[in-house]
Chain A
Amino acid sequence: MKQKDKSQKTEDRKQKTENGGQRTEDRSQMPDVRSQKTVGAPNYEPRIVGFLCNWCSYAGADKAGASQTPYPPNVSIIKVMCSGRIDPQFVLKAFAQGADGVLVLACHPGDCHYKEGNYRAGSRHALLLKLLDQFGIPADRCRFDFVSAGEGDKFIRVITDMVTTLKGLGPLKSQGGTHGNPES
């Protein structure tokens, strides 16, 4: 099976990342690591729900899996057929249920399997951010992005970036606002 060379591959990749390589540029865009230490518990692990469309983003997550590159385990994925199916209620429900962050991943513009579902998802997201703001949930906690079926590396970047951002922000409940109950 693939098991044998897997650890070696992982080692190689780790080396690659440590040595810089392609990802250095993206790391520079991540929030300052020092700011994380000032908020939340030192071992705080954010809970993130990711809504992914079946055709591009979910396939992109599978592509990341096939590359066997480790990334933080904080995101639990819920598959929908199209990002256009993602009801803003789902995002609110996730926050109400105690999620620290929500990811909505869609096909790139022009790539939607259903032609235009990703555009609808994008415009709903923009509106939803305004509503979340009313609940005291900052936009950083709810991220919309495009991940194609080939972009395993981008998927990993988005997840890693989100986890870093949320570690910096700390748990949602300590932010005040609705205390995790936006539906009330």
Chain B
Amino acid sequence: MKTGVYFCNCGQNIAGKIDSQAVKESISKLHPGIHVQTVDFLCSEPGTEFLEKDLRGNGIERVVLAACSPREHENTFMKALSAAGLNPYLMQMVNIREQVAWVTENPLDATAKAIRLIAAAVQRVALHDPLQKREIDICPDALVIGAGPAGLKAALALATAGRKVTVVEKTPVIGGLPVRYEELFPNMECGPCMLEPLLGEVLHGEASGNIELLTLSEVTGVVGSYGNFTITIRQRPRYIDLKTCIGCQECIGPCPVSTKNEFDCNLSDRKAISLPFQGSLPNAPSLDPSVCLRFKGEDCAKCRDACPVEGTIHFEDAECVVERKAGAIIVAIGGDLYDCASVPNLGYGKLPDVVTAAQFERMLASNGPTGGEIRTSAGKAPASIAIIHCVGSLDKNHKEYCSGICCQYAFKFNHLVGKKLPGIKRSHFYREISSPGKEEFLLYRHAQDDPDTSFFRYRDIADLKLKTDKRKIGIRYREGAGKEKGLAVDMVILCPASVPAAGTDQLGAVLEAGRDRFGFFEELHSRTDSAQSKIKGIYIAGACQAPMDIQRSMNQGMAVAGHVLSGLVPGRKLEISPMNAVVDEERCSGCRVCVSVCPYKAISFDPVKEVARVNDVLCMGCGTCVAACPSGSIKANHFTTNEIMAEIEGILS
């Protein structure tokens, strides 16, 4: 096997410290007949051209490049090897610039160190395998879980680019939470006005033909990996045919059953067949079999009798399981609010006029339970309200993080309440105020400038005690370390921490996508890759990744669309790096230690052969499994045990 050693002078950067002649002599002594060349600037165009010619001309089979850091020019030289008809992995770089010439005082020491490292590389490169990139066919389509702002933004972007998208939504409606809010911070734009154009595009726009919407559906299983997932979806029946329903709502009135409407935070009633709220999309009711009389054995068909379009209501519909193929999965299931009952001193659940921000949003909404009127449980307009910030946020006993959105909607409430009920006294109790952004300060300033608004800063939420006080709510509070004081108000709005949605863990388990210490879907990198999960091909967008507002959710929706568009291109195969782990099935004892250490779930256990199996699409080539394998049955391509051992020997011989 003929090895070529190329020593780059890098002008005087290397040659000024390391004696290339002495290197040549020593290496030739260790490996008689070895081909050693000194080049001035190996990375330059003439340098790589020389390298290519010299490799060809001398029939070199293994290459050692003593030059700068491989972080600088490894790819440059790999390309030169390929151009010379050599496999690019049959090369080893020796970093004699950054790690020798530039940092060694004495030229003799520098030369000796360079010789040690080059000798090691010569020994190592002899063992290199001619690794090949693998290519696989991919499906360029995507599956989106969750039809809120983030999920729909991603779905529409992908559909507009011509990709097929399946949107899986758990509830009967799309639009997520903000479509239920009357006005949104920071510009007081109405929620439906902001979001309905997006929802309309998804349902009826030019690209809507590429979007399949599955409501009342949940993902129950996933097989395959990046580029080729097969997803199992369980779809509960709506009992109303979306294709024929005209949305006239004639069926709702005659329904004899009433129950609490969860879409109004249980503040209103709905029928067994109902629309969650006026204007909800898709514009068709759904039937709730858990309360419908017909599903309790009674012979009621009042809704069907009232329906003007025959064959639209089907009581016979049953749950079905469907399968879809996709190259990427986008998780956008949104978030939830912290359970205020976890802070019992605030009286939530016991005092009827202590409401959560979500309940208050519905109260403000003109399509909500009070038609947009602010009313206490006694049906009166309140003369004073308190808004309690940081309920469960920034609190080591609850959630340590700042949810980031609450201050802004709290000041939005402040504004809206003042507008609806002029002269109403508003008191903010807060631990911290957080309102960054170029538009977000406005509502805060508005509250600060308002003569009827006052601020009280508490140190610990446990210092707030809420009790009934003569038809009002008495708040005992303490500012900082000061004395306890009292304030009586008619209504209290709690601004709870933003938390992961119910079902996050369940879906995470199905997708094998990890959660962080707060239960949100864990991103690949919190700053540089916050829209990717650790599992290749599974992306995360919106409040399921972290507490976030609509702006960030929409941006993340676009970000994941970008990931899919750039990663999965129709007609282009997916290139898989050969630098990954390979299991020797003959040696593998099936102990599964590797399965437990892999951070990317790239290793699975083959129950038939009773061996571990690496999915090279998911493997990132870290080699943690290789070091963990007790029987030495896993090979890290390009970083094999033999290669590294040869390097150790070379350095120390």
**Contacts from A to B (Cβ < 8 Å):** 1-3, 6, 10, 47, 49, 58-59, 61-62, 64-66, 68-71, 73, 76-82, 84-90, 93-94, 97-99, 113-117, 120, 124, 156
Q: Contact: A94 with B639, CB < 8 Å?
A: no
**Closest B residue to A100 using CB positions:** B652
Chain B residues with CB under 8 A of A116: 599, 624
Stretch of B11-19, B326-334, B369-377, B391-399 at the chain-chain interface: B11-19
Of residues 532 through 577 on chain B, the ones whose CB sits less than 8 Å from some CB of chain A are 534
Interface residue B30 (Cβ < 8 Å from any Cβ of A): no
Known: A68-B102, A73-B113, A78-B644. A62 touches B627 (CB 8 A): no
Which chain B residues numbered 55 to 107 have a C-beta less than 8 Å away from chain A?
69-71, 95, 97-100, 102-106
Chain B residues whose CB sits within 8 angstroms of the CB of A47 once the complex forms: 652
User: Are A80 and B597 within 8 A (Cβ)?
Assistant: no
Q: Compute how far the CA of A88 lies from the CA of B43 in the bound complex, rounded to whole angstroms.
A: 36
Number of interface residues of B (CB under 8 A): 49
Q: Which of B16, B99, B639 contacts A77 (CB 8 A)?
A: B99
Interface residue from A49, A70, A82, A88 paired with B103 (Cβ < 8 Å): A70
Known: A59-B71, A65-B69, A117-B624. A97 touches B99 (CB 8 A): no
Chain B nearest CB from A106 CB (Å) reads: 12
Per the bound structure, the CA–CA distance linking A10 and B106 in Å amounts to 12
Residues of A within 8 A of B627 (CB): 84-88, 120, 124
Indicate if B647 sits at the interface (CB-CB under 8 A).
yes
Q: How far is the CA of A73 from the CA of B108 in the complex (A)?
A: 10
User: Within the assembled complex, what's the spacing in Å between the Cα atoms of A73 and B106?
Assistant: 9
Chain B residues within an 8 Å CB radius of A76? 113, 116-117, 120, 651
Do residues B647 and A78 form an inter-chain contact, with CB atoms below 8 A? yes
B477 CB to closest chain A CB (Å) equals: 38
Q: How far is the CA of A103 from the CA of B620 in the complex (A)?
A: 25
Q: Is the Cβ of A87 less than 8 Å from the Cβ of B579?
A: no
Instruction: State how many angstroms separate the Cβ of A99 from the closest Cβ of chain B.
Output: 6
Residues of B within 8 A of A73 (CB): 100, 103-104, 106, 109-110, 112-113
Given the interface pairs A1-B13, A59-B71, A81-B622, the reply to whether A69 lies near B651 with Cβ below 8 Å is no
In the complex, A86→B652 CA distance in Å?
18
Residues of chain B with a CB closer than 8 A to A65's CB: 69, 95, 97-99, 102-103
Separation of A58 and B95 alpha carbons in the complex (Å):
10
**How far is it, in angstroms, between the C-alpha of A84 and the C-alpha of B597 when the chains are bound?**
10
B93 to chain A, nearest CB (A): 9
A82 and B624 form a contact (CB under 8 A) = yes
B579: chain A residues at CB < 8 Å are 81
Shortest beta-carbon distance, A89 to chain B, in Å? 7
Q: How far is the CB of A164 from chain B (nearest CB, A)?
A: 16
Per-residue interface assignment for chain B, residues 216 to 241, with 1 indicating a CB less than 8 Å from any chain A CB and 0 otherwise: 00000000000000000000000000
Is B584 interfacial (CB 8 A cutoff)? no
Whole-angstrom CA separation of A89 from B120 in the bound complex: 18
Bound complex: CA A66 to CA B72 (Å):
12
- Write 19 A-B pairs (CB below 8 A) sorted by A numbering: A1-B13, A3-B11, A59-B71, A62-B99, A64-B103, A73-B103, A73-B112, A76-B651, A77-B117, A78-B644, A81-B623, A84-B597, A84-B623, A85-B639, A97-B653, A113-B622, A114-B600, A114-B622, A120-B628
B636 proximal to A (CB < 8 A)? yes
Cα A3 to Cα B97 in complex, Å, equals: 12
- Residues of B close to A68: CB separation below 8 A: 102-103
Residues of chain A contacted by B649 (CB below 8 angstroms)? 93, 97
Contact assessment for A81 and B639 in the assembled complex, using a CB-CB cutoff below 8 Å = yes
> What B residues does A115 contact at CB under 8 A?
534, 599
Known: A78-B644, A84-B624. A61 touches B599 (CB 8 A): no
Give the CA-CA distance A168 to B103 in the complex, in Å.
23
- What separation, in Å, do the CA atoms of A70 and B647 have in the docked complex? 24
Least Cβ distance of B124 to chain A in Å?
Answer: 9
* Max chain B Cβ within 10 angstroms of own Cβ: one of A47, A69, A114: A114
B160 in contact (CB, < 8 A): no
- Taking the complex as formed, is B626 at the interface, i.e. its CB lies under 8 A from any CB of chain A? yes
Say yes or no: is B435 at the interface (Cβ < 8 Å to chain A). no
Q: How far is A94 from B651 in the complex, measured between Cα atoms in Å?
A: 9
Q: Does B381 contact A (CB under 8 A)?
A: no
B510 interface residue per 8 A CB criterion: no
| Chain B positions 574 through 603: 1 when the CB is less than 8 Å from some CB of chain A, otherwise 0 | 000001000000000000000001011000
Knowing that A64-B98, A65-B97 are A-B contacts, what are 18 other residue pairs whose CB atoms are under 8 Å apart, sorted by A's residue number? A1-B12, A3-B13, A49-B651, A62-B69, A65-B98, A71-B104, A77-B99, A78-B120, A79-B70, A82-B624, A84-B623, A85-B626, A90-B645, A93-B649, A116-B624, A117-B622, A117-B624, A120-B627
Question: In whole angstroms, how far apart are the Cα atoms of A53 and B310 in the complex?
Answer: 69
Which of A1, A6, A62, A89 gathers most chain B CB within 10 Å? Answer: A62
List 5 A-B pairs, minimum CB-CB distance, nearest first. A65-B98, A85-B623, A84-B624, A114-B622, A82-B622
**A79 vs B97: C-alpha distance when bound (angstroms):** 15
| B205 interface hit (Cβ, 8 Å) | no
How far is A75 from B105 in the complex, measured between Cα atoms in Å?
14
Q: How far is the CA of A134 from the CA of B112 in the complex (A)?
A: 33
Contact A120 B644 (CB under 8 A): no
- A71–B624 contact, CB under 8 A? no
List the A side residues contacting B106 at CB < 8 Å: 73
Asked whether A70 lies within 8 Å of B652 as measured between CB atoms, the reply is no
Contact of A3 among B16, B109, B113, B628 (CB under 8 A): B16
Question: Is A61 within 8 A of B628, CB to CB?
Answer: no
- Are B599 and A62 neighbours in the complex by a CB distance under 8 Å? no
Knowing A65-B69, A65-B102, A70-B105, the reply to whether A80 touches B644 (Cβ < 8 A) is yes
Nearest CB on A from B11, distance (A): 4
Interface residues in B443-492 by Cβ distance below 8 A to A read none
**Residue in B71, B104, B113, B620 whose beta carbon sits within 8 Å of that of A58 in the complex:** B71
| Distance from A173 Cβ to chain B, minimum over Cβ atoms (Å) | 13
Known contacts A76-B116, A90-B648, A114-B599; decide if A81 and B621 are in contact (CB<8 Å).
Answer: yes
Inter-chain CA distance A65–B98, complex, in Å, is 4
- Name the B residues within 8 Å of A64 (CB-CB): 98, 103
Q: Measured between alpha carbons, how far is A156 from B12 in the docked complex, in Å?
A: 23
Query: For A6, what are the chain B residues with a Cβ–Cβ distance below 8 Å?
Result: 16, 102
B102/A84 in contact, CB under 8 A: no
Given A76-B113, A90-B648, A98-B652, CB of A85 within 8 Å of CB of B622: yes
Which of A3, A10, A66, A124 is in CB contact (< 8 Å) with B98? A66
Q: How far is the CA of A70 from the CA of B17 in the complex (A)?
A: 12
Residue in B102, B104, B652 whose beta carbon sits within 8 Å of that of A97 in the complex: B652
